[in-house]
Amino acid sequence: MGAGGALGTDQGFTVLVTGFGPFPGVPVNPTAAVASALDGARVAGVRVVGRVLPVDWAAGLPALDAAVAEVAPDALLMLGVAPRGGIEVERVARNQVNAKPDVQGLAGPATLAPDGPAELATTLPWEALCALGAQPSDDAGGYLCNAVFYRALWAHAQVPQRGFVHVPHGDPAPVLAFVRRAVGVLAQGPAQARDQAGIDQSMGA
């Protein structure tokens, strides 16, 4: 677990949490604060590494690739901000790009992976994460959030658990609390997490 990268050797179970920096319309991104706060933390015995990705079509995806290579995580939990009513666990990444410019004022590529499928499903235990108080979503958009989500699923199969969570604008504290609990869920492994989610839901948790 967590072996094979410069930071991953003999570190036990490792979760890589990524956030994004500012972008047009969002001068302060709460996901950057969450990723930075968790970098180097131990949560319930689990090692967490946080990285902040630029909202830049040329640099954002390579930054994700570099972080995965450096950390060699067992789970990859990516965060992004969106005008949502609460925390939402994305279930589907799509091979699509919208016309919204990045921090450089540039648009994204025509497609994320010319030879890739139209959709890819998260490998996170989304039911268990939703049991923590989040909602499921099937619309990750067409901006950098969806792009890193798709890239992780398409290019980083060596990471067993990988997926994306959208969070609302505003105070990062509730998001930080959610992510800390999510780290514990991911450390259980997908199968055990799904079983626990079923137990929690049957008990009304």
Cα 19 to Cα 17: distance, rounded to the nearest angstrom: 7
pLDDT for 189: 80
Q: For the whole model, what pTM was predicted?
A: 0.89
Distance between start and end Cα atoms, the chain: 30
For residues 101 and 57, give the distance between their C-alpha atoms in angstroms, rounded to a whole number. 9
Residue 34 has pLDDT above 70, yes or no: yes
145 labelled catalytic: yes
Torsion of Cα atoms, 79 then 84 then 90 then 94, to 10°: -100
User: What domains are there in the chain, each with its CATH number?
Assistant: 14-202 (3.40.630.20)
CA–CA dist 201, 205 (Å, integer):
6
What's the pLDDT score for residue 192? 54
User: Residue 90: which H helix or E strand, with range?
Assistant: strand 88-90
Residue 19 zone, left/alpha/beta (φ > 0; ψ -120 to 50; rest): beta
The verdict on whether 119 is a catalytic residue reads no
196-205 pLDDT tens trace? 444 444 444 4
pLDDT digits (tens, 9 = 90+) for 96-122: 999 899 999 999 998 899 999 999 999
**Catalytic member of 88, 127, 130, 166:** 166
Say which of 70, 130, 145, 156 is annotated catalytic.
145
